Amino acid sequence: MTIFLKSALARRYSLLFIMVFSIMGFTYLAISLFGSHYYLKQVQTQVHQHIADTLVQDHHLVEQGRVNQDALATTFKRYMLLNPYLEIYLVNRNGQVLQYSADDKKILRRHIEMTPLLTALSAPSDAGRPFPMGDDPRKATGQAPFSVAALPDGLFLYVIIRNSVEQEANRQLQESLLLELSAWSFLVSLLVGLIFGGGVFWHLTRRLVALSQSVEHFKDHPEQPIQAQSKPHPDDLDRLQTTLADMSQQLHRTLTQLEDTDRQRRFMISSLSHDLRTPLTNLLGYMEQASQTTQEAYLEIAYENGLKLKHYLDQLFDFAKLELESFQLRRQSLSLSEFCFDILQHYQHTTPERTFKADIQPGLLYEFDPNRLESAIRNLLDNAVKYGQGTITLSLKAQAPELEIAVRDQGEPLDEAFQTYLNHPFAHQAAPHPHRPNAGSGLGLQIVKTIAEKHGGRFEYRSGIAHSFVIILPREND
């Protein structure tokens, strides 16, 4: 129940269910009350609509074609005491009030308009027609429902009905046993319906709410997968829960394997770099001293191979640092154009046997890590010097919304199998290139790719008349 109450979906639909059920119930009750009140009002209307004729007949107000004044006076006194809701007036054809069953101080008008009375007398008897409205002698202005009967000698019995219909209807409505039973039946039905409907709704949604809670928990704690519950006769929701449990178990195993693999790889690279760098540096130091006093060729060859091994270990160490989650670029806002010119001039001085060309767009400022980006460009230039042919071109172009740093040469293009493994560590060992039998491990290209991605860019290979390795950087840092 606690999970059910915490669920926004369950609360929303429970509230909606209660609102709809309550609106339907109160609408039914309002219609019942209105219908009962309207019915009783119509009954009272029909009872009082001909009250004037009833008074004339029951109290013998007319005898031998003349008005019985004694009976009329008795009737006025009786109704003034016993039924104050009926106010009886005797008026002539001119509308003058002659007699009345009321206190003199309460009579404010001695003359009334006769048109409504004559209209009521001439209108056919209609059970559905409303009360006629005539002047109220107790008010200086205003009208009230009335009943009228014609008397001899041009006189009229004018009866004002003072709120008797509404009050009597309300009284009978309040005293109606049927209405009371209906109200109690409605309340009991509403309560039972809400309890029963809420129970059914809770039963239908509690498993869905619990499953949603399990998925949310797995999202926050992927090390704790969803547990499947086997049932002899599973329904659709049970099968959904089983499927989600299987998916969470598979995802948990995959994440665990990836974490283990990544942890082992980082540990291996870091350990190997640190374990080999120190003794290799010492070895190179001794061999350098020996090469100055000894002319034997194998010492120089060993020294060159040691330098090559140190270069590979430096690359491995750089790659390990780039892969650390704590690694952060040290960006500086510099002229990228001058930065590329300086790197190319260094190669022109140190490698005079090769031809270098600059195709660098001037005046480009960029925010980047100079040490890391220099390492990436040098890796590409080193590969071009070792394996490329013809002129080596370093280009820098602004191609909105990106910057492109490319190293091109006229060497043999890479085949598709080699390109597939190009951006993976040790790709050259996995797919050796036929035109580059002495190619290295390919870790340098992986370092270039990682540095480009750390800057928010990417690394591509393009082939054509000349093949190019391209670092693409976003210009929003421009």
Q: pLDDT tens-digit profile of 143-163?
A: 888 888 999 988 999 988 776
Look up residue 183 and give its two tokens. Answer: 């109200």
pLDDT at 429: 44
More confident residue, 232 or 75: 75
Phi and psi, residue 14, nearest 5°: -65, -45
Pairing of strands 143-151, 133-135: antiparallel
pLDDT for the residue numbered 369: 93
| Mean pLDDT confidence for 393-399 | 93
- Distance of alpha carbon 12 from alpha carbon 16, whole angstroms: 6
The span from the CA of 87 to the CA of 99, in Å, is: 11
User: Strand runs (DSSP E) across 279-417, as ranges?
Assistant: 332-335, 356-360, 365-368, 392-399, 402-409
Q: Which residue has the higher pLDDT, 219 or 283?
A: 219
Give the model confidence (pLDDT) of 405-426 as tens digits: 999 988 777 766 566 656 554 4
Q: Give the chain's end-to-end CA distance (angstroms, integer).
A: 57
Look at the block and give the residue holding tokens 């997968």.
Answer: 225
Per-residue confidence (pLDDT) for residue 472, from 0 to 100: 94
Q: Are 136 and 172 in contact (CB under 8 A)?
A: no
Average pLDDT score over residue span 321-334: 84
Compute the distance between CA of residue 205 and CA of residue 200 in angstroms, rounded to an integer: 9
- Band (399; pLDDT cuts 50, 70, 90): confident
Q: 340 or 419: which carries more pLDDT confidence?
A: 340
**What is d(CA 167, CA 37) in angstroms, rounded to the nearest whole number?**
11
pLDDT at res. 291 = 64
Give pLDDT tens digits for 85-117. Answer: 788 899 999 999 988 877 778 888 899 999 998
**Arithmetic mean of pLDDT, 255-276:** 72
For the chain, what are the domain ranges? 59-162, 331-474
CATH of domain 331-474: 3.30.565.10
Give how far the C-alpha of residue 263 lies from the chain's centroid of Cα atoms, to the nearest Å: 38
pLDDT at 322: 80
Taking 50 as the threshold, does the pLDDT of residue 380 lie above it? Answer: yes
- Is the pLDDT at 335 greater than 70? The verdict is yes
pLDDT tier at 331 (50, 70, 90 boundaries)? very high
Q: What confidence score (pLDDT) does residue 147 get? A: 87
d(CA 253, CA 260): 11
pLDDT given at position 91? 92
Pairing between β-strand 143-151 and β-strand 86-92 as defined by DSSP bridges: unpaired
State pLDDT tens for residues 456-474: 999 998 887 778 999 999 9
d(Cα 425, Cα 423) in Å, to the nearest integer?
A: 7
- 173-202: pLDDT as tens digits: 555 655 676 677 777 777 777 777 777 777
Q: Average of pLDDT values for 121-136? A: 73
Which pLDDT value is given to residue 321? 80
Q: What is the mean pLDDT of the chain?
A: 78
CB 409 within 8 A of CB 380: no
CA–CA dist 304, 283 (Å, integer) = 12
Which whole number is the average pLDDT over 16-39?
73
Least trusted range by pLDDT, from 284-298, 339-353, 387-401: 284-298
Report percent pLDDT > 70 for the chain.
74
Cβ–Cβ < 8 Å for 360, 353: no
Residue 340 is encoded by which pair of tokens? 């590329």
User: 276 is written with which tokens?
Assistant: 């080999």
Q: Looking at the predicted structure, is the pLDDT value of residue 430 above 50? A: no
Structure confidence at residue 348 (pLDDT): 93
Q: Inform me whether the pLDDT recorded for 442 exceeds 70.
A: no
Confidence of residue 427 (pLDDT cuts 50, 70, 90): very low
